[in-house]
Amino acid sequence: MDKMKHMIIDALNQIFKPEGIYERNDVQVRSREKLPLLRGTISGKEPPDLVQVQENGVKFLVDVKRGHKTGFYIDQRENRKKVRELSPSRVLNLYSYTGGFGVYACLGGGEVVNVDTSKEALELAKENFKLNGIPSHKHREVLAKAEDVMRERWNGDMIILDPPNLALKRKDREQGIKKFTSLNANAIHSLGQGLLFTFSCSGNIHTEDFKRAIFHAGQKVGRELILLELTGHPFDHPVRVYSPELEYLKGALLYVR
């Protein structure tokens, strides 16, 4: 892709005519491929500190310069939309970042508690709720570790578990699966009865690993799990059949009882 970068920039300018293009090629995985880490304006104007975007009619403020990766997880847009369609009444949004899933949950008529370890992300989440006209009594932001929050029983009907990459390298795979299993067991134990929407964003944790970890998590806690749907990233994140690690995002919508 680096060899095609100038061609892509030209195409973006010709087709979309943006005010500017900002590059975020600063993820550490590039170092393993001997590629430089790059961040900055590569065409047109420097973007403001916060850029407003719209997704499925929902508005978000995105920190494209300092946010994680591009500042917003576009690959989760269909899964966020699904949360709104499910219309849960009370949602625990773990690893909430800037509140994406939480905003959709509120727009579906629910209330949400957003949990993250980043104060800056939670502050931006508050702005995103405000941007969409969601009153403050409909959401609460908690600065804490997800593991600590899950020690208490969740008095609601849905938990969203969207942790960071738990297996960045192949050698981390087994430890990552173990951690993912533990997190899901904690979530299942915390949820009395209701929906668990759980995700893995690691290409090194394969689909079968993902499903097996959920099975073991339910078995460990002694709860019945009903798999309602398996999800992933949308069509604009294609996967070459010869590169299965590109199928990194895996989601499972489960009914816990």
Report pLDDT digits (tens) over 33-83.
889 999 999 999 999 999 999 999 999 999 999 999 899 999 999 999 999
- How high does pLDDT run on average in the chain? 96
Active-site hit among 201, 214, 249, 252: 201
pTM over cut 0.85: yes
Largest CA-CA distance found in the chain, in angstroms, rounded? 57
Range 148-161 average pLDDT: 97
Establish whether 106 is a catalytic residue. no
Domain boundaries, the chain: 2-44, 51-256
Please measure the distance between the N-terminal and C-terminal CA atoms of the chain and give it in whole angstroms. Answer: 46
Q: How many CB atoms lie within 10 A of CB 59?
A: 13
Contact 252, 210 (CB under 8 A): yes
What is the pLDDT at residue 31? 87
> Strand 139-143 vs strand 194-200: parallel, antiparallel, or unpaired?
unpaired
173-204 tens-digit pLDDT: 999 999 999 999 999 999 989 999 999 999 99
Fold assignment, 51-256: Rossmann fold (3.40.50)
> Strand 90-94 vs strand 158-161: parallel, antiparallel, or unpaired?
parallel
Question: Looking at the predicted structure, is the pLDDT value of residue 242 above 90?
Answer: no
User: CA-based angle 76:58:118, to the nearest 5?
Assistant: 60
CA distance 167 to 201: 9
